[in-house]
Amino acid sequence: MNKQLAINKRLAMKKRWVSPRILLPLVSFSVLLIATFALQERAMSYLGLNLLFNLTVPIALATIGQLLVIMVNDIDLSVGAFVSLVACIAATVLVQHPWLGCLILAALVLAYAVIGALIHKLRLPAIVVTLGMSFIWDGLALLILPAPGGTAPTWLRALMTVKPPLVPMAVAAAVLIGLASHLLIIRSGIGTVLRGLGGNVRSVTRAGWNDTLLFALAYGLAGLFGVLAGLTLVGLYTSAGANVASSYTLLTIAGVILGGGEFVGGKVSPIGAVLGALTLSLAGSLLAFMHLSPDWQIGAQGAVLIAVLAARLLFNRHGASSNAIAQEATA
Amino acid sequence: MALTRALSRTLHITALGIATLVIATVSAVPAYSDTSDKRIALSNNYAGNAWRQEMLSAWRTQTSRAVKIGTVAAADAFTIGENRPTDQAAQIQNLILQGYDAIVIDAASTTALNGAVQEACDAGVVVVSFDGIVTAPCAWKVVNDFRQWGREEVEYMAKRFPEGANLLEVRGLPGTFVDDDLHQGIVDELKKHPQLHLVSSVEGDWAQDVTQQAVAGVLPSLPKIDGVLNQGGEAYGAAQAFRASDRKMPVIILSNAQDELAWWAQQDRDNGYQSISISNAPGIATVAFWVAQQILDGKEVPKRLTVPLLHIRQQDLDSVLAKTPKGSVADQIFSQADVEKLIAAARDKAVQRSQEASQ
Q: Where are the domains of chain A?
A: 24-314
Class of domain A24-314: mainly alpha
Q: How far is A237 from chain B (nearest CA, A)?
A: 5
> Looking at the partner chain, which of B84, B111, B175 has a beta carbon nearest the beta carbon of A247?
B84
Q: Report CB contact under 8 Å: B97, A40.
A: yes
Q: Where are the domains of chain B?
A: 39-138+282-312+329-358, 146-276
CA distance B13 to B7: 10
Q: What is the mean pLDDT of residues A261-268?
A: 88
| Amino acid (1-letter code) at residue A85 | L
| Amino acid (1-letter code) at residue B72 | V
Whether B8 has a pLDDT exceeding 60, the answer reads no
Q: Check CB contact of A289 with chain B, cutoff 8 Å.
A: yes
| Amino acid (1-letter code) at residue B118 | Q
Note the pTM of the prediction, 2 decimals.
Answer: 0.84
Whether A260 has a pLDDT exceeding 80, the answer reads yes
Question: A34, A26, A86: which is closest to A223 by C-alpha?
Answer: A86
Q: pLDDT-derived band of residue A2, with 50, 70 and 90 as boundaries? A: low
CA distance B135 to B117: 10
pLDDT value of residue B50: 84
Q: Check CB contact of B53 with chain A, cutoff 8 Å.
A: no
Number of alpha carbons in the 13 Å side-chain half-sphere of residue B329: 28
- Residues B50/B329, Cβ–Cβ less than 8 Å: yes
Q: pLDDT-derived band of residue B277, with 50, 70 and 90 as boundaries? A: very high
Q: Report CB contact under 8 Å: A237, B114.
A: yes
pLDDT value of residue B28: 39
User: Strand pairing partners for B254?
Assistant: B277
Domain B39-138+282-312+329-358 matches domain B146-276 at the CATH topology level: yes
Q: Report CB contact under 8 Å: A237, B85.
A: yes
Q: What is the mean pLDDT of residues B255-279?
A: 91
Q: Check CB contact of A54 with chain B, cutoff 8 Å.
A: yes
Whether A250 has a pLDDT exceeding 70, the answer reads yes
Q: Check CB contact of B93 with chain A, cutoff 8 Å.
A: yes
Please write the tens of the pLDDT for every residue from A278-296: 998 898 899 889 887 767 7
Kind of pairing between the strands at B126-130 and B277-279: unpaired
Average pLDDT, chain A: 89
Q: What is the mean pLDDT of residues A324-329?
A: 55
Q: What is the ipTM of this complex?
A: 0.87
CA distance A44 to B171: 49
Please write the tens of the pLDDT for every residue from B127-182: 999 998 999 999 999 999 999 999 999 999 999 999 999 999 999 887 778 888 99
Q: pLDDT-derived band of residue B17, with 50, 70 and 90 as boundaries? A: very low
Whether A204 has a pLDDT exceeding 50, the answer reads yes
Q: Check CB contact of B57 with chain A, cutoff 8 Å.
A: no
| Amino acid (1-letter code) at residue A164 | P
**What torsion do the CA atoms of A163, A169, A173, A175 make, to the nearest 10 degrees?**
-110
Class of domain B146-276: alpha beta
Q: Report CB contact under 8 Å: B94, A288.
A: yes
Please write the tens of the pLDDT for every residue from A109-142: 999 999 999 999 999 999 999 999 999 999 999 9
Question: B101, B64, B66, B108: which is closest to A294 by C-alpha?
Answer: B108
Q: B39-138+282-312+329-358: which CATH architecture?
A: 3-Layer(aba) Sandwich (3.40)
End-to-end alpha-carbon separation of chain A, Å? Answer: 11
- Residues B30/B38, Cβ–Cβ less than 8 Å: no
Q: pLDDT-derived band of residue A326, with 50, 70 and 90 as boundaries? A: low
